[in-house]
Chain A
Amino acid sequence: MRPIELIALAAVVVGWFATHLFSEARERRKEVRSQLDKLLDKLFSLEKDAVEFHSCATFDSSKTGGLLGQVDRIERILGRLPIVRLDDVVGPIIHHRRAITLRNFEASTFKPQSAGSDLLNEIASATRDLEDILEERYASEYPGSFPYFARPSTHTLTLIAVAALLALCTVIGLHELGVV
């Protein structure tokens, strides 16, 4: 095998690998964006339900269980989102739960909230804080400019190691056969 052929072969392998790497990163980015959008939909839906509950003329005990379930679900989904470590978002999660369920959440203390009340503002602010931190994590993990991802996944690193090993074995084999 002539050196030019070896270079051409190496170029094909590197090209294939680069294509695979960026294709995987693009797919991963789309998948995480889709997970994040679903979570944000749930977050906004919870905000709407919480505002309705606290603004209602009378205390509606049938809605408290649903709200608690929704608040709990947000944290569970957050735990499955690959761009977030739960330990890093403890503050915003507490702020969010507290905004909805600490005050005015029992019949004994319930008072209908009017638009612009501190409690309703707090719910909006806690929701925005969570949204902002999630978007920030997404942008840092999947930046909008080349190479469109912050760091290779474990899967990609494994592929790089396997590809390097195969290339090394090929060169050694060709050398042993006297081709190179």
Chain B
Amino acid sequence: MITVTVAKDFSRHPAGRYLKDGPYTGELFRKKFLEPNVRDHDRVVVVLDGTRGYGSSFLEEAFGGLVRAGFEKATVLQKLELQTSKPSLAQEIIEYIEDAATGKYAAN
């Protein structure tokens, strides 16, 4: 099991979707923390508290992007454990993982 604390390991100001959108984007977080850890570990705990907030585009690209990058939806849902004091964040991330294959929330 590995724990990733977004505020401590990545940034307190995560924002943006693609690498070109800024220094701490969803794509960067996925490539740097989610993809390698989901590939190499049975369980990945992601601690979401402590940042200045999340944009939906960041969440969609980071977590929904895992499925588009080739990870099985069921595997991602089984391995990820989301820790947050805000129930809406965990629910929104799960929706992005579940709907990633349909492209419902992907970039316009």
Contacts and interface: CB of A to CB of B under 8 A. Distances in A.
Contacts of B86: 75, 79, 86
- Secondary structure call for the B interface: loop
Contact of A94 (B55, B95, B107, B108): B95
B16 A106 contact: yes
Q: What band does the interface of chain B fall in when counting residues whose beta carbon is under 8 Å from A?
A: 20 to 34
B57 interface: yes
A18 to B, nearest CB: 39
A98 B56 contact: yes
- Secondary structure call for the A interface: helix
A141 to B, nearest CB: 20
A97 B88 contact: yes
Interface in B5-26: 13, 15-18, 20-22
Interface in A78-119: 79, 86-87, 89-90, 93-94, 97-98, 100-109
Given A86-B86, A102-B105, A107 B21 contact: yes
A65 interface: yes
B52 A69 contact: yes
Contacts, number: 79
Interface in B53-97: 53-58, 60, 85-88, 91-92, 95
B88 to A, nearest CB: 4
Nearest to A87: B87
Given A90-B88, A103-B108, A108 B53 contact: no
Contacts of B53: 68-69, 71-73
Interface residues of A, number: 28
Contacts of A72: 52-54
Interface string A45-73: 00000000000000001001100110111
Interface of B: 13, 15-18, 20-22, 52-58, 60, 85-88, 91-92, 95, 105, 107-108
Given A90-B88, A109-B107, A109-B108, 17 more contacts: A68-B52, A73-B53, A75-B86, A79-B85, A79-B86, A94-B92, A98-B105, A101-B55, A101-B56, A101-B58, A104-B108, A105-B17, A106-B57, A108-B17, A108-B18, A108-B20, A109-B17
